[in-house]
Amino acid sequence: MIVRRLIAVLGVGALLAAAGCGGSAPSGAAVDAAGSGDGPVRIGALHPVSGSMAVDGLQMRRGAQLAVEQINESGGIASLGGRRVQLTTADTQGKPEIGQSEAQRLISDGAVGLVGTYQSSVSSNVAVVAERNEVPFVMDVTASDEIFQHGYRHSFRVQPGSAKISESAADHLKQVSEQAGEPAGRVAVLHEQTDFGTGAADTFEAAARKLGMEVGPRVSYDATTASDFTSQITQVKASDADVLVVAGYYGDSLLIAQAIDAVKPDLDAVWGVSNGAYDQPKFVSDAGELGDRYFSTNYHFDAQNPETRRLRAEYRQRFGAPMRTGAVLSYDAVQAIAAGVEEAGSTDPAAVRNGIARAQIDPLTVGDGPVRFGPDGENVNSAAVLMQIQNGRVKQVYPPEKAESDPDYSVAW
């Protein structure tokens, strides 16, 4: 199993077992085994393990479970006498109202911290529950920045937010297209219609225009009901856009790729922005050659990190599938709570919350340094990276210091 390193918050003797996590029941609630000092410290994991997002949700639940197993194999939570950690889980079904009720159930059942949820609309509701109960909520995958505009004190996020990813995407597109001698002029945008896709499209459009690119057409869709994108891609083809930006989830993004293959618009590149498919190994296998050389600016597991490679090898061995970035982020989110609990030496939620705010961990995802949360709960060292599918593999291609290979912008669609 993988031993993670906590940085600058603990003494050396505590570091080896500091990958635990926990908290207490909310203020005023009855203390059960999780907070009594003699039972496991429970963390709640909320992900969609049924419905259209189930593949990613199950991956993320497994990533959280691997982190819990590593914590316990390393001796539990050292500052609490080696108490073990237990993962309690909930299926959000991809529905905000169910995520909200399930978050309350997990807290009432003794969860002392929450991780989740993959979907911004669900995380928005869970954040309200966490704030009301004063229980830390560390978001693994949640792109929307709107949650962090309310002044919540108990919400944290490991991944870069929508604005950071979208602004990076516009910059990546400008730099890579100009280096290839084919500067992007007109960019079409296709995005799913919830806060996630709309926020990504809004920020990308503003950043791209600022960099001198024209944007349009811009087309939104319902990812839960869409079954064919021929008409939307035909509209893109008629626009003479150089590049198509896609901000969507896995299933809809795969359908878009299939429509591109059928309609064959004259594009220089397809560019995912916070996209749920175009940097996934499953997309490579599902799409085959039609997805070759697709770009994606997003958060990503750190392909250069030996610990990440070991974790992903273990995941594949146990579950028979490649470990996606969302699952690695769930692993990191649990470790972030672990650092907070170890720092606090307590399951009191106020102490745990302050411990998380002070703690730092080495992430297994790409970043500009250790995971460290600012006053607003954002990871100040989060970073987006540009990836591209090349010869059947997803590779990091930009910026140069994070690249596994050079970007290939010479695409003839």
The CATH topology of domain 41-160+303-382 is Rossmann fold (3.40.50)
Q: Confirm if 69 and 21 have CB atoms less than 8 A apart.
A: no
| Burial zone of 222 (CB within 10 Å; 0-12 exposed, 13-18 middle, 19+ buried) | exposed
41-160+303-382 and 163-298+386-402, same CATH topology: yes
Q: What span, in angstroms and rounded, lies between the C-alpha atoms of 359 and 349? A: 15
Q: What span, in angstroms and rounded, lies between the C-alpha atoms of 128 and 97? A: 12
**Which pLDDT tens digit goes with each residue over 228-274?**
999 999 999 999 999 999 999 999 999 999 999 999 999 999 999 99
Residue 345 CB neighbour total at 10 angstroms? 17
Q: What span, in angstroms and rounded, lies between the C-alpha atoms of 343 and 337? A: 10
Q: Which of 138, 164, 211 is nearest to 371 (CA)?
A: 138
Residue 28: its pLDDT value, please?
Answer: 34
**Which pLDDT tens digit goes with each residue over 317-372?**
999 998 999 999 999 999 999 888 889 898 888 888 999 999 999 999 999 999 99
Q: What is the CATH number of domain 163-298+386-402?
A: 3.40.50.2300
Q: Is the dihedral of CA 375, 117, 403, 245 positive or negative?
A: negative
Contacts of 249 (CB under 8 A, 6+ apart): 52, 53, 192, 223, 276, 277
Burial of 64-97, coded b for 16+ CB within 10 Å and e otherwise, reads bbbbbebbbebbbbbbbeebbbbbbbbbbbbbbe
Q: CA angle, corner 211, sides to 210 and 213, nearest 5?
A: 95
| Burial zone of 238 (CB within 10 Å; 0-12 exposed, 13-18 middle, 19+ buried) | exposed
Residues in the chain: 413
pTM: 0.80
**Which pLDDT tens digit goes with each residue over 291-320?**
999 999 999 999 889 999 999 999 999 999
Domain ranges of the chain: 41-160+303-382, 163-298+386-402
Q: Which residues pair with 247 in a beta bridge?
A: 191
